[in-house]
Chain A
Amino acid sequence: ETGVTQSPTHLIKTRGQQVTLRCSSQSGHNTVSWYQQALGQGPQFIFQYYREEENGRGNFPPRFSGLQFPNYSSELNVNALELDDSALYLCASSYGGRGSSYNEQFFGPGTRLTVL
C-alpha cells in the first residue's frame, strides 16, 4: 500500500510568482486536506476536497486554490506569492463518507516552499 506522496520536496519562488504543489493520496482514500505549517508553528487548515469538490475552507485568501482529480490526487495552487507564504505545505488523505465514524488522516512529508 502506497502512502501519501507530495511533489516537489523543495521549491524556491520569488514574490508575485505562482506555484503548484501536488499530492497523491493513499490508495482507497477519497478525501484530501491541505495544511500550511509556518516555521515554529502548528499546521493550519487551508481546505479539504471530498470527491473532487471543496468540502470546507480555512481562513486563507482566494489566491489559495485547489483541485482534486478523479483519481483523488490533488493540487494546491497559490497565486501572487507573498513572503509570508514561505512554509511547509502538508497534504493529508483519508477516507470520508456519509455515516462513517472515524477516518484517520494520513500525512505526506510536505513541500517546503521558500518565497524570496
Chain B
Amino acid sequence: AQSVTQLGSHVSVSEGALVLLRCNYSSSVPPYLFWYVQYPNQGLQLLLKYTTGATLVKGINGFEAEFKKSETSFHLTKPSAHMSDAAEYFCAVSRDSSYKLIFGSGTRLLVRP
C-alpha cells in the first residue's frame, strides 16, 4: 500500500524567502513521486516528478525536490518565493507513472508582500 503525508496544511512565507513544503511517503515498491500545484478554480499542474535516476529533481517555476529514500521524503523547495507562487500544493505517489496517483491532503502556500 502507498500513502503520502504532507506536514502543515498552511505555510506562510515572505516574498523572497525560502519555500519548503514537506512530503513523506510510504510505499512497498519503488515509488514514482510527484508535486502538483493547484490555483483557485483550476485543475492540477505538474511541477516536477521523480521516477528513477538523479535524486535532485528540478521543475518548473524554479521549484526543485530531493528524493531521500532513507528518510522516505520528497520535500519541495524554492530559494525565493514570489507572490504568484501562492496556491495549493499536492505531493503524490504512484507505483507507475500512468497508474493511480495517491495524493496527500495538500499544503496551502501563502506569500506575504
Contact = CB atoms under 8 A, between A and B. Distances in A.
Contacts of A100: 98
B98 A96 contact: yes
A41 interface: yes
B101 A109 contact: no
Contact of B46 (A40, A101, A104): A104
Interface residues of B, number: 23
Contacts, number: 65
Given A4-B43, A102-B51, A102-B97, 14 more contacts: A33-B100, A35-B101, A41-B106, A42-B105, A43-B44, A43-B90, A45-B100, A58-B100, A92-B101, A96-B98, A100-B98, A107-B43, A107-B44, A109-B42
Interface string B86-112: 000010100001111111111000000
Nearest to B105: A42
Interface of B: 4, 32, 36, 41-46, 49, 51, 90, 92, 97-106
Contacts of B97: 94, 101-104
A21 B32 CA distance: 29
Given A90-B44, A104-B46, A109-B43, A48 B105 contact: no
Contact of B90 (A42, A45, A58, A109): A42
Most buried by A among B44, B90, B102: B44
A90 B43 contact: yes
Interface in A68-116: 90, 92, 94-96, 100-110
Given A43-B44, A102-B51, A48 B100 contact: yes
